[in-house]
Amino acid sequence: MQSLKESLLELITETSTNLPPDVRAAIQQAKEKENSGTRAALALSTISDNIQMAEENTSPICQDTGMPTFYVYVPVGANQIKISQAIREAIVEATQNGKLRPNSVDSLTGENSGNNLGEGVPVIHYEQWEKDEIEVKLILKGGGCENKNIQYSLPCELEGLGRAGRDLDGIRKCILHSVYQAQGQGCSAGFIGVGIGGDRTTGYELAKKQLFRKAHDSNPNPDLARLEEYIMENANKLSIGTMGFGGTTTLLGCKIGAMHRIPASFYVSVAYNCWAFRRQGITVDPETGKIKRWLYKEQPTVKPVTVSESATKTETSAPREVRLTPPISEEAIRSLRVGDIVILDGLIHTGRDALHKYLIDHEAPVDLNGGVIYHCGPVMLKDANGNWEVKAAGPTTSIREEPYQADIIKKFGIRAVIGKGGMGSRTLEGLKEHGAVYLNAIGGAAQYYADCITGVDGVHFMEFGVPEAMWHLHVKNFAAIVTMDSHGNSLHKDVEMDSLKRLSQFKEKVFS
Ligand SMILES: O=C(O)C[C@H](O)C(=O)O
Ligand code: SF4
């Protein structure tokens, strides 16, 4: 088993940096269906470029390399203690190499362990089998989409859909609702794994396990196959679209599994995965620890997009582009409208959960007047000269800062907040009152944005850990879309209301 650690390091690196062909094919199909010139088409083309860049740079596709979760199948007699040790060593090395972001945080003290190890991290599941090889599957599922997982307890009442009973039709409603409630916040277009039955724990486990199925397989259970097809066809009619910008593709894959339950409980558990669907697997020789085979490398046979589905090439009018350099004036901000593209040059500052909480009661270490805050937790490495290098730097889900954002904008005179997924009514009110905008960057496009960062001008609050620290970054040609302006307009609010209306068309019974 001498080579096991090296094999696992290769597995982690490959998972984090090279999206599997079946996932790429699903994204490519979505791209072909989207009308060119729309915001969704723009987002999908950034996503495609980002996937390519990550592969070429062998760098993380998304800066959030998630909760490393391994499923290991072992021959009878294999030493699981040694395998776990090799996994932990490979995780530490992958973190040192910048293939994983240090993501393991002590829940009580908030301290980041710095090496991706911790109580319960990484997650390792074992199962024995009769084969004489080891199989290791890995999923790196990030926090934004994990936060969009949802569990329903049937019967229940669902917004837009009415009563969902303990039958296939009730399950159908739960799944449609799960896509609606995620909006764009889990970096849609997404993949869902659904677990029917079990208890609260095993239901979610079953849901997550579905994510290991290939994107283009079909369910051996005919009822579930029918349900999967139905969901794929109809969830996309919600028009939430890529990043929640509206558009033809909201869901890239739906895989459903079922298990027994006890009489009183009936759970439908949904694991939502972003487009940056990083899962890979290997089989390993138990003697040497060397890789024998990769599990998700073959090209899928994909139905070509039909003419009626493919994008009409009628270009929508090109959005207005506005170039800005902080400090930004109130006048420049008030001239922006939802749909404009802002291109930033100059200094911006990262800030996410820990910083927003801190700034409520403390002063900022730098002048933020007219400034730009970027909701981002980057992957950073020091180069040979001890200088910081940005390895990946896409936006994080902004809605988590909703309790703080309006107050922070007011207190420090901030003019623009960059993030993804949009924010709520309190922030919208704050933007209007103080003259600021919300800029939506493309979630997961961590290589694309890292490429716009020309230098690191220092860091504050390293004690918060790398992702939560306040990084001062010089950017050039950093593009993001105004999705909330200073006149009370919010694309997110509009898409949410529109998709709720569309959801209600699925109220009537379909499966008996
Ligand atoms: O933690 C992050 O960098 C992003 C997170 O995965 C998110 O989607 O909000
Ligand atoms: S930022 Fe988006 S793409 Fe990255 S892990 Fe979070 S949900 Fe996924």
E-strand stretches of 405-450: 416-419, 437-440
Determine if the peptide bond prior to 189 is cis (ω within 30°).
yes
Residue entry with tokens 């569309």? 502
Euclidean distance between CA atoms 338 and 482, whole angstroms: 5
Output the CA torsion sign for 484, 238, 218, 272. Answer: positive
258 forms beta bridges with 196
ipTM exceeding 0.95, yes/no: yes
> If you measure from the C-alpha of residue 217 to the centroid of ligand 2, how many angstroms do you get, rounded to a whole number?
24
Nearest CA to ligand 1 atom 1: 64
CATH of domain 321-495: 3.20.130.10
- Local structure of 23: helix, strand or coil: helix
Contact 443, 394 (CB under 8 A): yes
Euclidean distance between CA atoms 462 and 305, whole angstroms: 48
Q: Where do the structural domains in the chain lie, given as residue ranges?
A: 1-141, 143-273, 321-495
- Ligand 2 and 142: CB distance under 6 A: yes
Q: Give 87-145 pLDDT, tens digit per residue.
A: 999 999 999 999 999 999 999 999 999 999 999 999 999 999 999 999 999 999 999 99
Euclidean distance between CA atoms 422 and 398, whole angstroms: 6
% of the chain residues with pLDDT over 70: 98
- The 3-state secondary structure of 40-91 reads HHHHHHHHHHHHHHHHHHCCCCCCCCCEEEEEEEEECCCCHHHHHHHHHHHH
CB atoms within 10 A of CB 419: 27
253, containing H or E segment: strand 251-258
Euclidean distance between CA atoms 458 and 349, whole angstroms: 10
* Probe target for ligand 2 pocket from 145, 146, 149, 418, with the most ligand atoms within 8 Å of CB: 145
Residue entry with tokens 């970054």? 473
Which numbered atom of ligand 2 lies nearest the CA of 66? Answer: 5
Q: Give 176-197 pLDDT, tens digit per residue.
A: 999 999 999 999 999 999 999 9
- Exposure on the CB side of residue 3, measured as CA atoms within 13 A: 13
Q: Give 57-96 pLDDT, tens digit per residue.
A: 999 999 999 999 999 999 999 999 999 999 999 999 999 9
